[in-house]
A and B are shown apart, each in its own frame.
Chain A
Amino acid sequence: AQRVTQPEKLLSVFKGAPVELKCNYSYSGSPELFWYVQYSRQRLQLLLRHISRESIKGFTADLNKGETSFHLKKPFAQEEDSAMYYCALGSNAGNMLTFGGGTRLMVKP
């Protein structure tokens, strides 16, 4: 069975501090992993996917198959990064996403 765990419901940091949002997954096949973000009063949107290996808004995430993790990192948090972040796992066919419970990131001035 697919499962995604985000152990922190809330993460609070000061502006300029490094950020790491944790995500662990359980999946028997080859995983497709995503980070989605939901800013206040906006809809859920894709932030990045592991297959792209890109940095979006300063965020990166590396898939670690040994640790079954896909943590989201940013070296210097900005106030506009405050949002709900969801880690998601795609099925083999890519048509079903399994979401973690989400982490609310608060970046304080």
Chain B
Amino acid sequence: NAGVMQNPRHLVRRRGQEARLRCSPMKGHSHVYWYRQLPEEGLKFMVYLQKENIIDESGMPKERFSAEFPKEGPSILRIQQVVRGDSAAYFCASSLNPGLLTDTQYFGPGTRLTVL
């Protein structure tokens, strides 16, 4: 089991471009979480998705950000018209069953987005 995969690992965009970040959960996991880490800060929750559904997007900025987790393929975090303030590390995590007290979120290596 390769664990949670994220690509690309590094992404450079100019202001106004779009950024697409991909996350493949661990095998058998259907719950995906996205977190953002700004420089010198902790990880902040953005969105929680289950296959084909957004369950909790309370941490997502209202504009320019969207996320999906289709029936087939990876989860995608999309940032439109990027600005310098979007520069951060974006982490994806997956878990098997959040309803269980023993459930664990397994993290990917992150995508470091730099906006020029």
The interface of chain A, by Cβ under 8 A from chain B, is: 4, 6, 32, 36, 43-46, 49, 51-52, 86, 93-102
Cβ of B85 within 8 Å of any chain A Cβ, yes or no, is no
Q: What is the interface of chain B mostly: helix, strand, loop, or mixed?
A: loop
**What 7 A-B pairs are tightest by C-beta distance, nearest first?**
A99-B42, A44-B107, A99-B43, A101-B42, A95-B98, A94-B98, A96-B45
Cβ of B99 within 8 Å of any chain A Cβ, yes or no, is yes
B107 touches A98 (CB 8 A): no
Distance, CA A35 to CA B45, complexed state (A): 16
B42 touches A94 (CB 8 A): no
A45 touches B42 (CB 8 A): no
Distance, CA A83 to CA B41, complexed state (A): 15
Distance, CA A82 to CA B103, complexed state (A): 26
Size of interface on B: residues with Cβ below 8 Å to A: 30
Distance, CA A98 to CA B109, complexed state (A): 19
* Selected A-B contacts with CB under 8 Å, 5 pairs: A36-B107, A44-B43, A94-B101, A97-B33, A99-B43
Q: Shortest distance in angstroms between B84's beta carbon and chain A's nearest beta carbon?
A: 22
| Residues in B neighbouring A102, C-beta threshold 8 A | 42
